[in-house]
Amino acid sequence: MARMTMIEAIRDAMDVMMARDERVVVFGEDVGYFGGVFRCTAGLQQKYGKTRCFDAPISESGIVGTAIGMATYGLRPCIEIQFADYMYPAYDQIVSEAARLRYRSNGEFTCPLVIRMPTGGGIFGGQTHSQSPEALFTHVAGLKTVVPSNPYDAKGLLIAAIEDPDPVIFLEPKRLYNGPFDGHHDRPVTPWSKHELGEVPSGYFIHPLGKASVVREGSAMTVLAYGTMVYVAQAAVAEIGIDAEIIDLRTLVPLDMETIAASVKKTGRCVVVHEATLTSGFGAELAALVQEACFFQLEAPITRVTGWDTPYPHAQEWDYFPGPARVGRALVETMEA
């Protein structure tokens, strides 16, 4: 066991897999010599050489497109898009190619590929360093989408993603890289070294994809969250004193509907929280699925607390970001509904 930040845990996952499997290659913009703008790949080039970890031209479609070619050759690329906000030039390669290779070739060509992308706001990143585009991936058949919320999960999920035979979009909430964040931007942030989930086993282990984690058991309502919003939900629940069950989804596709449905059937209420914009966001899918699975147990409408349907602003960061106060109000309203 070692104390790690999320950055260190992600780097450790790649280190473990590069050592175990020489087919694993890591590349992206500034990923090689410099070790990544978030330090997630620091030291990997020195340890494994320039043909295993290298810098790429500034071309997202080139990075993803070449990685797809490598994956079909038999490598296991784990590549980085510097910010999820910059994945759009690669969207054609992700949607039309990575997601569909296995299907359209009837399994002749497969794409064991991981695309890591720092995601999410709460860092004054403005419009192009704060987006949460997960719904643009969850809508695509053939992709798996993962969002870890702590170092321990990040390592286990990333190793599982690298070993997965299908393309995995691995969204890393950059707000959580150095420590958990509950939305109280006016308070000092606790580093991962002071958090129990900063304790990460050394060596190889996995968290299977498709398994949610119940981070707080409760009986009054179910809160579905992932990424940074897990901590916001925890803070909101603590502050308003509701006995809510909080589920960290961890994997959006495939989704752990068993855990979700069991919880909502028990509590009878459900609030979905995410940073991404509301309309057609992943919360809409969650609300629809919960409604289908738990209609007769629901005692209140399913509520969504999300980013507003606007581009992510700069100066208005804390009016946009769904913080503990806004989440708390929704929880109270859902209890009273």
Partner 1 sequence: MNDFRPLTLHVPEPAVRPGGTPDFSNVKIPKAGAVPRPEVDANPEDIRDLAFSIIRVLNRAGEAVGPWAGLLSDEELVEGMRNMMTLRTFDARMLIAQRQGKTSFYMQHLGEEAISCAFRKALLPGDMNFPTYRQAGLLIASGYPMVDMMCQVYSNSRDPLKGRQLPVMYSSKEHGFFTISGNLATQYVQAVGWAMASAIRNDTRIAAAWIGDGSTAESDFHAALVFASTYKAPVILNIVNNQWAISTFQGIARGGAGTFAARGLGFGIPSLRVDGNDYLAVYAVAKWAAERARRNLGPTLVEYVTYRAGAHSTSDDPSAYRPKTESDAWPLGDPIIRLKNHLVIRGVWSEERHKQAEAEILDSVIAAQKEAESYGTLHAGGKPSARDMFEGVYAEMPPHLRRQRQQAGV
Tokens of 188: 């000092």
**Cα within 13 Å of Cα(233), Cβ side:** 32
Is 331 within 8 Å of 223 (Cβ atoms)?
yes
- Give min distance, CB of 306 to partner 1, in A: 22
Pick the catalytic residue from 129, 139, 185, 314. 129
Minimal distance, residue 313 CB to partner 1, in Å: 29
Note whether 28 and 10 are within 8 A (CB).
no
Looking at 3, 37, 39, 89, which residue binds partner 1 (CB under 8 A)?
A: 89
Binding of partner 1 at residue 96 (CB under 8 A)?
yes
Sheet of 251-253: strands edge to edge?
Answer: 53-55, 24-28, 76-80, 114-119, 168-173, 144-146, 251-253
The residue within the footprint of partner 1, chosen from 65, 218, 268, 311 (CB under 8 A), is: 65
Structure letter (DSSP) for residue 102: H
Task: Tell me if residue 129 is catalytic.
Answer: yes
Residue type, 310: T
Of 51-59, 191-199, 224-232, 306-314, the segment contacting partner 1 by CB under 8 A is: 51-59
Phi-psi region of 125 (alpha: psi -120 to 50; beta: other; left: phi over 0): alpha
Q: Which is nearer to partner 1, 168 or 331 (CB)?
A: 168
Measured torsion, CA atoms of residues 306, 242, 152, 144, in degrees rounded to the nearest 10: -40
Smallest gap from Cβ 279 to partner 1, in A, equals 22
Rounded CA-CA distance 183/236 in Å is 9
Cα torsion angle, 45, 48, 50, 54, sign: negative
Stretch touching partner 1 by CB under 8 A, among 69-77, 121-129, 171-179, 303-311: 69-77
Question: Distance between CA atoms of 45 and 64, rounded to whole angstroms?
Answer: 20
Of the two residues 102 and 269, which places its CB atom closer to partner 1 in the complex? 102
Q: Does residue 165 interact with partner 1 by CB under 8 A?
A: yes
CB of 293 to partner 1, least distance (A): 11
Binding mask 227-256 for partner 1 (x = CB under 8 A): --------------------------xxx-
CB 184 within 8 A of CB 324: yes
Tokens at residue 133, please? 């585009």
142 counts as binding partner 1 under rule CB under 8 A: yes
Q: Which stretch in 116-124, 141-149, 181-189, 264-272 sits in contact with partner 1 by CB under 8 A? A: 141-149
* Sites for partner 1 among residues 97-126 (CB under 8 A): 97, 100-110
Closest by alpha carbon to 32, among 8, 11, 56?
56
Q: Choose, by CB under 8 A, the member of 41, 45, 52, 277 that binds partner 1.
A: 52
Which of 2, 19, 47, 69 binds partner 1 (CB under 8 A)? It is 69
Q: Work out the angle at residue 140's Cα, subtended by the Cα atoms of residues 123 and 17, and round it to the nearest 5 degrees.
A: 65
Closest approach, Cβ 113 to partner 1, in A, equals: 10
Options 51, 186, 203, 315; binder of partner 1; rule CB under 8 A = 51
Sign of the C-alpha dihedral computed for residues 117, 122, 128 and 133 taken in this order? positive
Footprint of partner 1 on this chain (CB under 8 A)?
25, 51-52, 56-57, 59, 61-62, 65-70, 72-75, 89, 92-93, 96-97, 100-110, 141-142, 144, 164-166, 210, 253-255, 257
Which residues are catalytically annotated? Answer: 129
